[in-house]
């Protein structure tokens, strides 16, 4: 490897701030396309370095940049606030250098993915292709409670100052229980103005619209390769962005979804599962073929490939598709049933495609106590929230309603977005409802596939908060994100309904008071209806084989 690297070159921004970048150059002199990678995590990380060397070896200039206020770059780091216009300035500076042929692509995951979208909204003329991976969504899409999720404080702590902080010095489990929620920074030993500012905006207002992009796809027209994993804890954004661009009439859109967590394509194993040798791909090569096509006009068969690559879990096979959602999707209602005692997996909850009839109980009920929330199985740091974990022990709780199908007599594929339509009431002014989709193996292992939450006051949208009336029946929609999974013959399909998933989401204290500011709690008595009048269901995207 004999790439030439220039360290700490300075890129000027329109307000005079200088960003620091490392420039990986092809061996042969001449003009080449450039790939810009902007990061708050340090431009000299090994992953950045190896990626820089790879693409330089394949005829690209790679510019690894510390974002404003991080690493060796000047200015103040305020997450996402400056990254759109800064990205425009970096791209156009790079495009204007004598060594660049004027074609620029962008690449990067998580924070690095979202800022590509914010930059694309600024419409830099030299931006010709983007590869955003594991991209966060707009505010309140992946944390629909009006508040950042508890682990966001871990991320803010990690990225405070100019360099990465050691998050292992903090007892995060203790931190997440802090009330009032706004004071969750204090047990870390650090006062976070950013955390407190975000808590001051508990619904989708102008503060958040400034860094939102998912309602503005009509303003973006650039080829995009969207990449994520089914167990990425920010997964919801990637299929949403692909679909949003296609529905806005934008061509040259691509989607790749693997059986991966937020750290993509690192291991065939995740938790208890091994997805097999085929579950790992040559990611650099996959991305290079995309860039070769859109930045160099080289087609090594890329144009003949279908635009959607999906890994179907359970069957553990890659599948190519023309569209997302899949054209042969049969959206199928699976209804909740019981004789009135669906509490825990030892109860009588049943899941079936039969609509509720008059001869069964009309509802199930349980009490949700914020002092004793339903656990969400996860490590306590923000790197990855949850996985294909076994929830059978948590399903022993009476504040978890469990509805299980008959044992399957054939394989059933579910690929697409999962949504629940619940009819609910509560004796509180505000409360939460969560829904989880699981695959129950013959051994009893209940594997989480995907889940979601709705907060009562945001049932009509996070821009329209409205408290609930105790005792009134509401129909609420719970977005449970996406999956691609084959429930094998002899397995069962299961749905859990509860009112908490802690610490994935903050606890609703059930009082209806201002979010994040109070300590008073109330036990909420919840009712989930499944009658002819109120037929609660989960809608599964069944793929006919």
Active-site positions? 110, 232, 262
Cα–Cα distance measured from residue 443 to residue 472, given in angstroms and rounded to the nearest whole number: 40
3-state helix, strand, coil in the chain (%, to 5): 20, 30, 50
Specify the DSSP class assigned to residue 223.
-
Bridging pattern class, strands 100-109 and 32-39: parallel
What residues pair up with 365 in beta bridges, in sequence order?
527
Are 363 and 210 in contact, with CB atoms under 8 Å apart? Answer: no
CA–CA–CA angle 176, 178, 180 (5° rounding):
130
Q: What does 274-315 look like in DSSP terms, one character per residue?
A: E--GGG---HHHHHHHHHIIIII---SSGGGS-SEEEEEBTT
Per DSSP, what are the bridge partners of residue 422? 476
Closest-CA residue to 13 (of 63, 62, 60, 67):
67
Q: Can you give the three-state secondary structure of 152-183, one letter per residue?
A: HHHHHHHCCCCCCCCHHHCCHHHHHCCCCHHH
Instruction: Give the separation between CA 315 and CA 317, rounded to whole angstroms.
Output: 6
As a whole number of angstroms, the distance between CA 87 and CA 110 comes to 16
Phi, psi (deg, nearest 5) at residue 182: -60, -25
H/E stretch holding 241: helix 237-247
Give the separation between CA 539 and CA 482, rounded to whole angstroms: 12
List the beta strands (DSSP E) in 74-149.
100-109, 127-133
The residue behind tokens 């908060």 is 465
In whole angstroms, give the CA distance from residue 391 to residue 407.
Answer: 18
Beta strands of 377-517 (E only): which ranges?
Answer: 401-404, 412-426, 432-440, 446-455, 474-487, 492-498
C-alpha distances (whole Å) from 513 to each of 177, 179, 187, 367 are: 18, 13, 24, 19
Return d(Cα 399, Cα 507) in angstroms, integer. Answer: 14
Q: Is 524 helix (H, G, I), strand (E, B) or coil?
A: strand
Q: DSSP letter string over 465-476?
A: --PPPTT--EEE
């Amino acid at each position: 490897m004999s790439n030439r690297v220039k360290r700490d070159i300075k890129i000027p921004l329109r307000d005079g701030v200088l960003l620091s970048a490392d420039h990986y150059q092809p061996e042969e002199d001449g003009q080449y396309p450039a790939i810009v990678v902007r990061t708050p995590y340090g431009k000299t990380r090994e992953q950045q370095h190896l990626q820089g060397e790879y693409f330089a070896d394949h005829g690209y200039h790679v510019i690894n940049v510390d974002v404003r206020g991080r690493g060796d770059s000047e200015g103040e780091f305020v997450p996402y606030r400056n990254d759109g216009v800064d990205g425009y300035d970096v791209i156009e500076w790079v495009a204007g250098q004598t060594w660049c042929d004027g074609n620029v692509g962008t690449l990067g995951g998580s924070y690095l993915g979202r800022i590509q979208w914010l930059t694309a909204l600024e419409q830099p003329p030299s931006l010709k292709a983007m590869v955003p991976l594991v991209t966060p969504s707009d505010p309140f899409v992946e944390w629909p409670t009006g508040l950042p999720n508890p682990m966001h404080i871990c991320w803010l702590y990690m990225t405070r100052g100019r360099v990465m902080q050691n998050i292992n010095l903090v007892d995060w489990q203790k931190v997440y229980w802090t009330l009032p929620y706004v004071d969750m920074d204090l047990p870390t030993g650090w006062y976070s103005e950013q955390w407190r500012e975000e808590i001051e905006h508990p619904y989708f207002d102008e503060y958040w619209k400034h860094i939102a992009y998912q309602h503005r796809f009509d303003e973006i027209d650039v080829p995009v390769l969207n990449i994520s994993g089914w167990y990425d804890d920010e997964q919801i954004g990637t299929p949403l962005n692909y679909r949003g661009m296609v529905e806005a009439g934008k061509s040259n859109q691509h989607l790749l979804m693997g059986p991966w967590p937020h750290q993509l394509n690192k291991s065939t194993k995740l938790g208890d599962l091994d997805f097999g040798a085929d579950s790992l791909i040559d990611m650099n090569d996959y991305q290079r073929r995309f860039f070769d096509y859109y930045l160099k006009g080289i087609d090594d068969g890329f144009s003949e490939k279908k635009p959607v690559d999906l890994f179907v879990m359970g069957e553990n096979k890659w599948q190519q598709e023309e569209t997302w959602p899949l054209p042969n999707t049969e959206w199928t209602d699976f209804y909740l049933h019981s004789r009135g005692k669906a509490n825990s997996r030892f109860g009588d909850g049943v899941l079936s495609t039969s609509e509720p009839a008059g001869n069964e109980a009309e509802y199930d009920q349980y009490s949700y106590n914020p002092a004793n929330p339903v656990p969400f199985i996860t490590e306590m740091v923000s790197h990855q929230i949850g996985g294909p974990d076994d929830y059978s022990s948590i399903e022993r709780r009476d504040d978890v309603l469990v509805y299980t199908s008959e044992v399957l007599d054939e394989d059933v594929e579910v690929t697409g977005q999962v949504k629940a339509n619940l009819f609910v009431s509560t004796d509180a002014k505000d409360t939460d409802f969560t829904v989880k989709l699981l695959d129950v193996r013959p051994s009893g292992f209940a594997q989480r596939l995907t889940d979601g939450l709705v907060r009562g006051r945001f049932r009509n949208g996070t821009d329209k908060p409205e408290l609930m009336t105790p005792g009134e029946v509401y129909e609420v929609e719970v977005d449970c994100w996406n999956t691609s999974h084959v429930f094998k013959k002899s397995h069962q399909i299961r749905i859990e309904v509860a009112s908490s998933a802690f610490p994935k989401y903050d606890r609703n204290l059930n009082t209806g008071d201002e979010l994040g500011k109070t300590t008073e709690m109330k036990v909420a008595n919840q009712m989930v209806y499944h009658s002819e009048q109120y037929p609660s269901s989960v809608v599964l995207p069944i793929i006919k084989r």
